[in-house]
Chains A and B, each alone.
Chain A
Amino acid sequence: MYEIVRKETLAPGICRYVVRAPEIARSRKAGQFVIVRPRDDSERIPLTIAGGEGETIVLVVQEVGKTTAVMADMVAGESLADVCGPLGQPARVQHLGTVVVIGGGIGVAPAYPIAEAMRNAGNSVIAILGARNQELLIMVEEMSRVADRVVLTTDDGSRGLKGLVTTALQSLIEEGRPIAEVIAIGPAVMMKKVCEVTRPRRIPTLVSLNTIMIDGTGMCGGCRVSVGGQTRFVCVDGPEFDGHQVDFDLMIRRQAMYAEQEHLAYQQYLDRQRG
């Protein structure tokens, strides 16, 4: 169960795992995620499904703390202790016209199946992929296969446009072509900034939120966010929401709730395993 069939490094600190999970592979839809425990003593973490075929699913994971570090130190042939899913509401996929799919950093991974689904629904898809530098740009080839046009941005200008995804989005909007919808996935600050660009122009914008989660089935409320002044659970009402309604500031602060403990656990792991 949950065997890592293949593992490759896409960028420094970013790995792609092909995991055997037949039932999840069979029922997954774009936009859904899984809850993973790499080892038997691990915490539960949400990871978006970045694709898959046959009996496997694809997870693209950036090392940011202990649990993702534990995963990074696993090799093909080993098995993840627990993988639960597919969870969350599927992404809303419909024929709209031209849609812009924005993936920031690791957000490109979950953006990919959504871009693919939107394209299959007859939309014209423009993808904007952004990263700090060219090493951290991932899945460019895959995105090129499902998007009609791909715009790359890097903070340092080492590849594509120099600047943020919002800069590229602004330019795109100014080109004049009507954009029916923007889908943005990436760090919370990035999604917030994208919404600030689209809000005055009234371009519908969907975001995929990545809060802390424990069970992933709506049982605890740990993942709750405020959307349009109402409390919503990301794991069962989301992860996709109307970006213009999301209280990003609150979400960002809730995401930082365990920063001290996370840092301690990560540091201890690094000292023990890689010191």
Chain B
Amino acid sequence: MPTWRERTNKERLKLPQQRMAEQAAELRIRNMKEVPLGFSAAQARLEAQRCLQCSKARCVAGCPVGIDIPRFVAQIADGDFAAAAATIKEKNLLPAICGRVCPQEEQCQVVCAVTKALKSLDRSVSIGKLERFVADWEREQGSAALPPLPKPSGRRVAVVGSGPAGLTVAGDLIRQGHAVTVFEALHRPGGVLVYGIPEFRLPKEIVYREVEYLEKLGVQFRYNFVVGKTRSLEELLGDGYDAIFIGTGAGLPKFLDLEGENLCGVYSANEYLTRSNLMRAFEFPRSDTPLARSRRVAVIGGGNVAMDSARTAARLGAETVYLVYRRSEAEMPARSEEIYHAREEGIVFHLLQNPTRFLGDQRDWVVGLELQRMELGEPDASGRRRPVPIQGSEWVLEADTVIVAIGNEANPLMAQTAPALRTTRRGNIVVDAQSQRTSMKGVFAGGDIVLGAATVILAMGEGRRAAQAIAKYLEDGKWSEAPAVPEACSAAPVEPSPAPAA
């Protein structure tokens, strides 16, 4: 009986892909618990053995933070889960989160050699599920060992925002002996991980545990602190912070600017999700924040936020949830796994439809939306076929709640109060690509506030780069040697968003 290492590639490719158990659709729309239930240890080891352990592993390059995937997968196959956790944590401090929300099918799994050999992305090595398994295993063990910390450097860093970018910067810098304070505007940490991503995709407990770990390492968290209002960036530098990292995210909801958009019952996805996720409105009246009692909900959009909104509405007791999207399913930016889950949960897709206006009753409450059918024309700037309205095709979809989930832009609060901070026309902070330096001395930025609404893992990658540059700056104090920050507010603004607009 050969050990797994002795098996040939051909034998490995014959191993059956392990299916992660999931809550059945009819059951899970009545609760907020996670849908995928995790691997057992036996499943994880078997799935790990499907990896071909390529010498030139393309998956590593596919990962935005360069996790040594073949090594951690081999450690799982060996049954050494603690070693696998340590390997992942060399590059990624938040594996329980990334294992759940990363679009692995676009990053590591898509370039996996098994994907290529079996000619099927669906049958790649389940790298994401393995990462999640290891992270959950470690968390269940109780105490993740604290790494030894160097003696204090005497330097202080302010991190603005406790989302994925900020948490990554905090984790990297605290481990190098710098004093780190994270300033968070809301009353709980996590940023979009807590207000945006629903409980059933990412349990908040996981995020809070990661934050507790950082606190054990010595990171200070200050809540209800809005940098730009409570204290300005300039004032923080004056308060003795040697460097500042801005990770304030893409927290400005986009509306459609249509007639009736301010009717009661029309929400931005941010509001709907913040009420449900952060403020636990799904438990009203046990929690104090209310949410509309909806029978028919129409969600407009095609990204992950739209899926999250629709699936949350279903769990909140709506009879019917519609997803309205102006292109076809092929163009939807959402993860195919989430589209699949949404369909399973009974969400009705109205594709190639676009709203023209919202209709209300005499109480100014929304009762429906007028939709216009679309057809796909020539590709637009994002490379996808542009939706073209079909004249005269208007019809009315009845709905008592509408959720506008068409994207988020940079929250302008920071830029408004820091005129020295150069931004693009859209309000994204302009940075040097290597070092994440902004136009303000001592101030760095990363994540959605730079990229536009993107992903957790990209935010972490930016945070990692920024932390490296901050550490160097804290050491040598050199600022002017950095490559020039590109001109921002001229005719050709930097268009940073890698994720296509829906």
Closest to B184 in A: A84
- The residues of B that contact A219 with a CB separation of less than 8 Å are 251-253, 270, 274, 411
A231 with B411: CB separation less than 8 A: no
- Mark A30-74 against chain B: 1 for CB-CB distance below 8 A, else 0: 000001010001111000000000000000000000110000000
Q: Given A23-B231, A217-B411, A221-B268 in contact, is the A262-B187 Cβ separation under 8 Å?
A: no
Residue from B185, B253, B290, B363 in contact with A262 in the complex, judged by beta carbons closer than 8 Å: B290
B186 with A215: CB separation less than 8 A: yes
A264 with B270: CB separation less than 8 A: no
Residue from A35, A43, A220 in contact with B288 in the complex, judged by beta carbons closer than 8 Å: A43
B255 proximal to A (CB < 8 A): yes
B264 with A218: CB separation less than 8 A: no
- In the bound complex, CA of A35 to CA of B185 (Å): 11
A84 with B226: CB separation less than 8 A: yes
In chain B, residues 352-374, which have Cβ atoms closer than 8 Å to a Cβ of chain A?
363-365
- The residues of A that contact B274 with a CB separation of less than 8 Å are 214-215, 219-220
Residue from A81, A218, A222 in contact with B187 in the complex, judged by beta carbons closer than 8 Å: A81
**A: number of interface residues (CB 8 Å):** 44
A27 proximal to B (CB < 8 A): yes
- In the bound complex, CA of A115 to CA of B334 (Å): 52
Q: SS class of chain B's interface: helix, strand, loop or mixed?
A: loop
In chain A, residues 139-192, which have Cβ atoms closer than 8 Å to a Cβ of chain B?
none
**B: number of interface residues (CB 8 Å):** 40
B255 with A221: CB separation less than 8 A: yes
Which of B265, B271, B363 gathers most chain A CB within 10 Å?
Answer: B271
A221 with B253: CB separation less than 8 A: yes
- In the bound complex, CA of A256 to CA of B251 (Å): 26
- In the bound complex, CA of A257 to CA of B289 (Å): 13
A274 proximal to B (CB < 8 A): no
B229 with A231: CB separation less than 8 A: no
Q: Chain B's nearest CB lies how many Å from the CB of A198? A: 25
A24 with B264: CB separation less than 8 A: no
- The residues of B that contact A85 with a CB separation of less than 8 Å are 224, 226, 229-230
Supply 14 further A-B pairs (C-beta < 8 A) apart from A215-B186, A221-B255, A226-B262: A42-B288, A44-B187, A67-B288, A82-B224, A214-B274, A215-B274, A217-B413, A220-B274, A221-B268, A224-B262, A231-B261, A250-B364, A253-B264, A261-B285
Task: List residues of chain B with CB under 8 Å of any chain A CB.
Answer: 185-187, 223-226, 229-231, 251-253, 255, 257, 261-262, 264-265, 267-268, 270-271, 274-275, 279, 284-285, 287-290, 292-293, 363-365, 411-413
Task: List residues of chain A with CB under 8 Å of any chain B CB.
Answer: 23-24, 27, 35, 37, 41-44, 66-67, 81-87, 214-215, 217-222, 224-226, 231, 236, 249-250, 253-254, 256-258, 260-262, 264-265, 268
